[in-house]
Amino acid sequence: MKIELVFIPSPGVGHIRATTALAKLLVDSDDRLSVTLIVIPSQFSGDASSSLYAKSEDRFRYILLPAGDQSTEHTFVSYIDSRKPQVTDAVSELARDVSTRSDSRLAGIVVDMFCTSMIDIADDFNFPAYIFYTSNASYLGLQFHVQSLYDEKKLDVSELKDSDVKFDVPTLSQPFPAKCLPSVMLDSKWFPYVVGRARSFRETKGILVNSVAEMEPQALKFFSGENGNTNTPPVYAVGPIIDFETSGDDEKRKEILRWLKEQPKKSVVFLCFGSMGGFSEEQSREIAVAIERSGHRFLWSLRRASLVENMTNAPPEEFTNLEDILPKGFLDRTVEIGKIISWAPQVDVLKSPAIGAFVTHCGWNSILESLWFGVPMAAWPIYAEQQFNAFHMVEELGLAAEVRKEYRRDFLVGEPEIVTAEEIERGIKCAMVQDRRKMRKRVMEMKDKLHVALVDGGSSNCALKKFVQDVVDNVQ
């Protein structure tokens, strides 16, 4: 029997790339399997058919939905909900097509962790629903734990905002500070959404996690039921799922890589903060001061936080007046040792021998990419679950230095505090020099574990095969 899975990724570059990479891995792992990705266009872009999406291939294809209503009045959640009729139509047509082939079955719908409302579509068609959790297993455990605390003990963690409380999380070995909870958990208006999403996760047939068992033994032990946990779906640690394809301006990419090739080995600190990582002029000046004081060569992806009124979650923009916003003479003084860019071909940069450390927003994809290439990190989270990831990397695993792990700048926060040049400089120096030997040893050990997990017989390879077999069993 041949089976087909439908994936519904969240409309964000990192999520779509990770989903594409996972889908191709699944197709390559089993000749019985085909995958269709239903792509919802970004709320901030009218073109879903950009160069981000490769051409459809045998047993792997995209369905690109039209732009539709992209009103800026939508929250992200309401925007996803507004696309359900289009997704329903696409699934219906696909189901009809599969039903005409006697040897094929539509075996389930895999929805992104931020698209749980799409589980309703799976229920309507009586298809098994699965989750692709693009973050780590430890954070998944936090989400379940927060929901359990509320449902069983009536503890609302949003009431811990601004407190110094620490509490135990079953997927972590150390007490976790409430200050590192993501903003949606600390906001009383959004907390019901957080709890409801965790409940939705529990109702699925399984959860694919972009992580590695050897990286999160405490978490995988919890999900295996060894700690008495029996009320969560099977969790499959199938990572690291990394998209190594680079899309973007090829000339800029070549220019950046030429510059890196001229730099000494492990001499460059790379600063890059993801697809939403822009800063104010004041914060950018603090970064510049820190870089110059550190004395290290640098490659800095610098962008301005969105200036669109009432759109603090809109993508960042380019600075056009670097001479005016950066410290006087900074560009002249650093011309021989530094390079400021806007867009960065991140994977290509991280695999360059010149990179010594990575100042990162702690997006999970960025963390995995950094570890895959053995690059120590300095953690400066911004939004989503990145504060948790920063704690995880700095305190739990010792794979990153800290800039400020409880920093946040997202749509639920007003004007954020400024991270000082002293904090940034300290983080850079810890990652590049002071803790380099100890941290680099840990990072290189983790790099080896990530690579081994994907080979035949590795933990992630086995988890992927187990998932496919469970999918087959669930349709029989």
Q: Which domains does the chain have, with CATH numbers?
A: 2-138+190-243+455-475 (3.40.50.2000), 250-450 (3.40.50.2000)
Burial tier of 46 (Cβ tally within 10 Å: 0-12, 13-18, 19+): exposed
Helix axes 13-29, 364-372, angle to 10 degrees: 60
CA 54 to chain centre: 20
Close Cβ partners of 456 (under 8 Å, ≥ 6 residues apart): none
Q: 3-state DSSP call for residue 193?
A: helix
Token readout for 405 is 């792990």
Q: Residue 417: its pLDDT value, please?
A: 87
Q: How confident is the model at residue 228 (pLDDT cuts 50, 70, 90)?
A: low
Q: Residue 48: its pLDDT value, please?
A: 45
Token readout for 434 is 């002071």
Q: What is the pTM of this model?
A: 0.93
Angle at alpha carbon of residue 473, lines to 469 and 475, rounded to 5°: 125
Are 263 and 279 in contact by the 8 Å Cβ rule? The answer is no
Give the residue ranges of DSSP H helices in 213-280: 217-223, 250-261
Q: Residue 311: its pLDDT value, please?
A: 42
| Gap between the Cα atoms of 28 and 238, Å rounded | 14
Q: How confident is the model at residue 413 (pLDDT cuts 50, 70, 90)?
A: low
Mean pLDDT of 269-295: 94
The percent of residues in the chain predicted with pLDDT above 90, rounded, is 77
- What integer best gives the mean pLDDT of the chain? 91
Neighbours of 289 (CB within 10 A): 18
In residues, how long is the chain?
A: 476
Residues designated catalytic: 15, 112
Which one is predicted more confidently, 216 or 245? 216
Q: How confident is the model at residue 349 (pLDDT cuts 50, 70, 90)?
A: very high
| Gap between the Cα atoms of 208 and 392, Å rounded | 20
Q: Residue 120: its pLDDT value, please?
A: 96
Over 70: is that where the pLDDT of 434 sits?
no
| Gap between the Cα atoms of 374 and 372, Å rounded | 6
Pick the range with the lowest mean pLDDT from 124-138, 272-286, 298-312, 371-385: 298-312
Mean pLDDT of 305-314: 55
Mean pLDDT of 90-104: 91
Token readout for 214 is 């050897």
For 430, which DSSP code?
I
Neighbours of 162 (CB within 10 A): 7
| Gap between the Cα atoms of 420 and 118, Å rounded | 42
| Gap between the Cα atoms of 38 and 269, Å rounded | 38
Q: Encode pLDDT of 14-49 as tens digits.
A: 788 889 999 999 999 999 999 999 999 887 665 444
Over 60: is that where the pLDDT of 84 sits?
yes
Q: How confident is the model at residue 306 (pLDDT cuts 50, 70, 90)?
A: confident
Over 70: is that where the pLDDT of 95 sits?
yes
Half-sphere exposure of 54 (CA within 13 A, CB side): 18
Pick the range with the lowest mean pLDDT from 213-227, 251-265, 374-388: 213-227
Closest among 143, 133, 136 to 19, alpha carbons compared: 133
Over 70: is that where the pLDDT of 73 sits?
no
Q: How confident is the model at residue 72 (pLDDT cuts 50, 70, 90)?
A: low
| Gap between the Cα atoms of 120 and 175, Å rounded | 36
Closest among 182, 211, 140, 213 to 364, alpha carbons compared: 211
